[in-house]
Chain A
Amino acid sequence: MAGRQHLPAVWSHMTPDLPATRIQHMEMRDIVKTFPGVRANDGVSIDVHSGEVHALLGENGAGKSTLMRQLYGMYQPDSGEIRINDEPVQFRRPLDAIRAGIGMIHQHFMLVPTMTVAENVALGQPSTRGLRLDLDVVSERIATLSEEYGLRVDPEAAIWQLSVGEQQRVEIIKALDLGASLIILDEPTAVLTPQEVDDLFVTLRRMVAEGHSLLFISHKLHEVLDVTDRVTVLRDGASVGSRATKETTRDELVQMMVGRELGDLEIREASTGEAAIEISGLRVLGDRGEEIVRGVDLTVHHGEILGIAGVSGNGQRELAEALSGVREATAGRVKIDGTEITSAPLNERVAAGLSFVPEERMRDGAIGEFTVQENVFLHDHDEPEFCRGIFLKFPQMAEHAESLVSQFAVKTPGLDTPLKNLSGGNIQKLILARELSREPRVLIASQPTRGVDIGASEYIHQVLLEQRDAGMAILLISEDLEEIQTLSDRIAVIYNGRIVGTVERSEADAQSIGVLMAGGSLQQAHQETAERD
């Protein structure tokens, strides 16, 4: 514990005191939690000892976060019991959990962006000076914790100025400063660069060495195999089983998560053709008026998948938006098969052979309240095939929607089901089906499998590869490095609005791409790889 004594709590009913005892053993037994229409947790049990990392593995929607939110007092279980050091406890609100020594690093950080690091750490805690803030004292505590656990961060910096990795360190400091001895990490690596992930794991190992217990939520198998001692797998709200990490394999875990074995993706040799989309000197402004895409040159050929790797916020979203015409390009040119479309309206882009799978599928790709069929026709309702004048031809529309749904194996109760009732994977399959049904020559796919379950991801990957083999040019933008590496024939890394390096599939390894993603040069990347070998 970093130099912090018990403080006189001024509003003790509201602010947390330091937990009296360390958590040696925490156990959740037979937890059941239902939300209207969903059984989110169906009799799940999990336990963790001091000095242990226990992974909670499962697909999106398997009930991992719900389970952990009950441990943190955000929800109350319908039935089941939580025991700490063999005493039953009840957490009615996060404060109760904090007092018991539980900390949680949420997937979406719980930070106030306008405030400084010190203010965020001070938040909700009693001050040594009564009602007066004691930010200098808090800053000293932060410095001590930084030292002890390798969490470099400037207490005076405002949160919005920090990188995502730094923000996560603030979250960990917050939990440690409250005296948490059991820390829940909800998908902690989802937003980090490979290097930041390494740093995080160093910190986690130090915490474990100090006797902390860690609950690590993830759906990334290699991480789970890397850093954890035990794994519990959840599927559809129920616990599938627990394993000691040493005694399990990747394949066994996948099977537990998905409920079946996955096939291997068959990747044929690419037969690259002519340039399909040529981007030269493209510049785009971001939301705050700053230049965020600063001169991008890229060419994707027919029959090729070009992957764009990068930490989010380096211009990839704006690049995709500029290509789809949602955002204006301030300079540069974009050509599809020789036709200039830099500032063309959407219809002309589509006519030139461009299709899009947008990053925010529920915001830019579909309308949740509309039915499955209506979503299929968001754009193509004015094709002569589907309308006469202003009147829609419903039988033809239904037929087309039906054929897409069955062809792409979209699981839906019917064509008139509101889209929002479908799972993320099925929504994405429908969007992909719609975009491909126009038989585009170029596809811009942004985060095509984000928030999509493993089964559907596998299917989407297969479809993308098939389209590539059929001659389509695909620009794949993804923050999932594994996905980029699996699918791309070439990988371009974007950093700070520029393409800092392009590597062929054969020479792409996570380490050198990671160096580029963090702003390093190709040379550096090669050097680091060489040192490692």
Chain B
Amino acid sequence: MSELLSANVLTGMLNTMLTLATPLLFAALGETFSQRSGVVNLGVDGIMLLSAFGAFYVVLTNGSLFLGLVVAMLIGIAMGAAMSFVSVTMKAEQGVSGIGLQMFGLGMSSLLFKVMVGTVKTVQGFPRVRIPLLAEIPFLGPILFNNNVLVYIAFALVPICWYVLERTTIGLAIKAVGQNPAAADSRGINVDLVRYGSVCFGAMLAGMAGAAISISTVNLFQDNLTAGQGFIAVALVYFGGWTPVGVMFGALLFSVANSLQLWLQVLGVNVPAGLANMLPYILTIVVLTISVSRGKAPAALNRPFLRGEN
């Protein structure tokens, strides 16, 4: 147990935390945009799975890492467009269409994996990039500035997303559409277009989340690779009160628990593996129960918009 407290282990654990938080952060930031415009996309996990496979397959067949990432983003956008079509254009129940998207992603990624790859193979993922000088800072340097490029991008997106939502005309339009689409419509804003844009952008980030697992963390693909992280990401949006910074803290909290249980296993601490695996999920439920943030939810969340109906 004393090993757990040594500086090296602590550094390693916190660094792992950032790596584990990255896919959650991408997905939850994306879902924040989607929900701010009034669309709950429960299909995040399915998008992550199919994108993760796409990125993995591109890299496996000697495509570049960059190309793999782009393919993951494109798969995300395509699935986001499908989600938008069903729930925005056709006004279907969002919860149901999201679950449909999740089942599709889960099944399709498994099928493609069996047909096109067959056995578990690993790829060379995004390498760690040490940022000169900054990485030399004692303790914090190795934690913060010795990560792969997707980790840097994910955390850089937090202030960028905040700026877009709070300081631009686009953000104002997105929030208005999520709060009172009739008001936005009466100001000449194209409600459906804003929702398409937000959902597709969110799904693109979900695609990056998938890539952040398959070609930058575990560097392989297998059935149900995400293990429900897409759903955790949706929960984090509620936890984070629909703000990028809140979502980031949620992702870190979940990951610190996850990182702790991983390191406990690595260090051979005698905890049943199943119990340790459950820890982050239990924590999520507990925190969600305590942090009642319902009041901050976009007022038009889950409600399709039909002009003149109010």
Contacts and interface: CB of A to CB of B under 8 A. Distances in A.
Interface of A: 10, 14-16, 69, 72, 74-75, 93-95, 98-99, 104, 106, 108-115, 119-120, 122-127, 131-133, 174
Nearest to B308: A74
Counting chain A CB atoms within 10 Å of each CB, which of B167, B175, B187 scores highest?
Answer: B187
Interface in B187-235: 187-190, 193
Interface in B163-194: 167-173, 175-176, 179-180, 182-190, 193
Nearest to B183: A110
Q: Which 3 residue pairs spanning A and B have beta carbons closest together?
A: A124-B187, A95-B188, A110-B183
Interface string B36-63: 0000000000000000000000000000
B308 A123 contact: no
11 contacts: A16-B187, A95-B190, A98-B188, A109-B183, A112-B176, A113-B180, A123-B183, A131-B170, A132-B167, A133-B167, A133-B171
Given A106-B186, A113-B180, A123 B173 contact: yes
A131 B180 contact: no
Contact of B189 (A69, A115, A124, A132): A124
Contacts, number: 87
B294 interface: no
Counting chain A CB atoms within 10 Å of each CB, which of B176, B183, B185, B299 scores highest?
Answer: B183
Given A74-B307, A133-B167, A16 B172 contact: no
B185 A14 contact: no
Contacts of B169: 10, 15, 122, 125-127, 131-133
A98 B190 CA distance: 13
A123 B310 contact: no
B176 A123 contact: yes
B167 A94 contact: no
A174 B187 contact: yes
Interface string B256-282: 000000000000000000000000000
B167 A123 contact: no
Nearest to B170: A131
A337 B185 CA distance: 54
A133 B168 contact: yes
Contacts of A74: 307-308
B179 A123 contact: no
A89 B106 CA distance: 51
Contacts of A122: 169, 172
A95 B176 CA distance: 16
Contacts of B299: 113-114
Given A114-B179, A115-B176, A123 B168 contact: no
Contact of A14 (B167, B168, B172, B190): B190
Nearest to A96: B188
Counting chain B CB atoms within 10 Å of each CB, which of A74, A110, A113 scores highest?
Answer: A110
Contacts of A111: 180, 183
Nearest to A14: B190
Interface of B: 167-173, 175-176, 179-180, 182-190, 193, 299, 307-308, 310
Counting chain A CB atoms within 10 Å of each CB, which of B182, B186, B189 scores highest?
Answer: B186
A131 B308 contact: no
B171 to A, nearest CB: 8
B186 A15 contact: no
B168 A115 contact: no
A112 B180 contact: yes
A112 B179 contact: yes
A123 B184 contact: yes
B188 A16 contact: yes
Contacts of B185: 93-94
A132 B186 CA distance: 22
Contacts of B187: 16, 94, 98, 110, 123-125, 174
A3 to B, nearest CB: 20
A32 B186 CA distance: 23
B186 A110 contact: yes
Nearest to B187: A124
B167 A113 contact: no
Counting chain B CB atoms within 10 Å of each CB, which of A72, A109, A123 scores highest?
Answer: A123
A283 to B, nearest CB: 24
Contacts of A127: 169
A106 to B, nearest CB: 7
A114 B165 CA distance: 14
Contacts of A94: 185-188
A124 B179 contact: no
Counting chain A CB atoms within 10 Å of each CB, which of B168, B179, B185, B188 scores highest?
Answer: B188
A315 B141 CA distance: 59
A113 B180 CA distance: 8
Given A119-B172, A131-B169, A133-B169, 12 more contacts: A14-B189, A72-B186, A93-B185, A95-B188, A98-B187, A111-B183, A112-B179, A112-B183, A122-B169, A124-B176, A125-B169, A131-B170
Nearest to A108: B310
A490 B187 CA distance: 45
B188 A131 contact: no
A69 B193 CA distance: 22
Nearest to A75: B308
B158 to A, nearest CB: 19
Counting chain B CB atoms within 10 Å of each CB, which of A10, A111, A112, A133 scores highest?
Answer: A112
Contacts of B308: 69, 74-75
A123 B182 contact: no
Contacts of B307: 74-75
A244 to B, nearest CB: 32
Contacts of A120: 183
Contacts of B167: 132-133
Contact of B188 (A10, A75, A115, A124): A124
Nearest to B296: A114
A78 to B, nearest CB: 15
A94 B191 CA distance: 12
A132 B183 contact: no
Contacts of A131: 168-170
A395 B171 CA distance: 62
A10 B172 CA distance: 14
B182 A110 contact: yes
Contacts of A106: 186
Nearest to B300: A112
Nearest to B193: A14
A94 B173 CA distance: 16
Given A108-B310, A131-B170, A15 B176 contact: no
B168 A124 contact: no
B188 to A, nearest CB: 3
A53 B310 CA distance: 27
